[in-house]
Amino acid sequence: MFAALGAAIIAIPLLALLVRVPWSGLVDAATSDVVRDALLISLVTSLAAAVVSIVLGVPLAWVLARTDAPGRGVLRALVTLPMILPPVVGGAALLFAFGRRGVLGEWLEQSTGLVLPFSIWGVILANTFVALPFLVITVEGGLVAAGTRREEAAATLGATPWHVFRRVTLPSVAPAIRAGAILAWARAFGEFGATITFAGNLPGRTQTLPLAVFVSLDADRDAAIAISLIMVVVSFVILLTLRDRWWSGSAR
């Protein structure tokens, strides 16, 4: 009974969305300039955020899982904070740090000329801010599960720590990195609050699909529904591809 109710709470809005889909005008709505730009920006920025998350997140996960550096508990709490923080607060925080008058933003603009807010770089930064924790905790879990026994064996065979990391540690957590990257990408793909706060909502520059949905709800309801449908389908496909690797394959 409660289970059915729980499923209904999620299923009914999605069904309502499907019911309202203007199937005849769908192709036109989905191929309009606004939607095409937004889709491109969304794909580029979310993929970039996933890549940055891997590059920065794997070492971070390694520090959390493999070192006994003091303050690891605090670091872990800090890294996972964006998962529960309202994204709009994250966006505001990014603005205070990297805005034109921000702590680092002013220095960054003077020394390199790079302006993050209201640019596509800002979208990538906002996406990374919300996506990174998903990769870090997934990979940290993978590292803890893999243990250090094989790394020790590699060291006794003469492998330097760097060689051990590349040839033993990374391959053993490859499934966790893959799952974490997909989760991070999915989170970045749907990001709204931090993006609109930090990078604004400029069509063709910083307007991602979620922002386009929000704007279109007033202006062009059919377009909003078409974009929503795209996002539901993409998200659902991600979940299906993840199902075997992550949800049930957590033993890896």
Partner 1 sequence: MSGDPSPPGGATSGDPAADGLVVDAEIRRGDAVVVAAFSVAPGTTTALVGPNGAGKTTLIEAVAGLVPLSRPEVSGRSTSVRIDGRILDDPVRDVFVPPEQRSVGVVFQDLRLFDHLDVLSNVAFGRRARGEARSDAESIARRWIGAVGLGGAESSRPAELSGGQAQRVALARALAADPDVLLFDEPLSSLDVRTRAEMRRLVRTHLDALNGPRLLVTHDPADAFALADQVVVLEGGRVTQTGTPAEIQRRPATSYVAALGGVNLVWGDASDGRVVVSVDGSASGAEQVHERPLELTVLDHEVAGPVRCTIPPSAIALSPSRPRGSQRNVWVATVRSVEPMGDRVRIVLDGPVGLAADVTPGAVAALSLGPGVEVWAAVKATEIDVQPV
Which residue, 25 or 171, is less far from partner 1 as judged by CB? Answer: 171
Nearest distance from C-beta of residue 73 to partner 1, angstroms:
22
Which residue, 205 or 245, is less far from partner 1 as judged by CB? Answer: 245
Which residue, 92 or 155, is less far from partner 1 as judged by CB? Answer: 155
Question: With binding defined as CB under 8 A, does residue 249 bind partner 1?
Answer: no
Which residue, 83 or 159, is less far from partner 1 as judged by CB? Answer: 159
C-alpha dihedral (247, 86, 197, 235), degrees to nearest 10: 20
Round to whole Å and give the CA distance between 111 and 122. Answer: 17
Phi, psi of 210 (to 5 degrees): -60, -40
Which residue, 97 or 159, is less far from partner 1 as judged by CB? Answer: 159
Q: Which amino acid is at 143?
A: L
Which residue, 11 or 174, is less far from partner 1 as judged by CB? Answer: 174
Nearest distance from C-beta of residue 174 to partner 1, angstroms:
8
* DSSP secondary structure string for all residues of the chain: -HHHHHHHHHHHHHHHHHHT--GGGHHHHHTSHHHHHHHHHHHHHHHHHHHHHHHHHHHHHHHHHH---TTHHHHHHHHHHHHHS-HHHHHHHHHHHHSTTSTTHHHHHHHH----TTSHHHHHHHHHHHHHHHHHHHHHHHHHHH-SHHHHHHHHTT--HHHHIIIIIHHHTHHHHHHHHHHHHHHHHT--HHHHHHT---TTTT--HHHHHHHHHHH-HHHHHHHHHHHHHHHHHHHHHHIIIIIS-TT-
| Total residues interacting with partner 1, rule: CB under 8 A | 18
Q: Which of residues 131-190 bind partner 1 (CB under 8 A)?
A: 149-150, 152-161, 163, 167-168, 171-172, 174
Nearest distance from C-beta of residue 154 to partner 1, angstroms:
7
Neighbours of 233 (CB within 10 A): 10
Which residue, 7 or 157, is less far from partner 1 as judged by CB? Answer: 157
Nearest distance from C-beta of residue 54 to partner 1, angstroms:
19
List residues near partner 1 by CB under 8 A: 149-150, 152-161, 163, 167-168, 171-172, 174
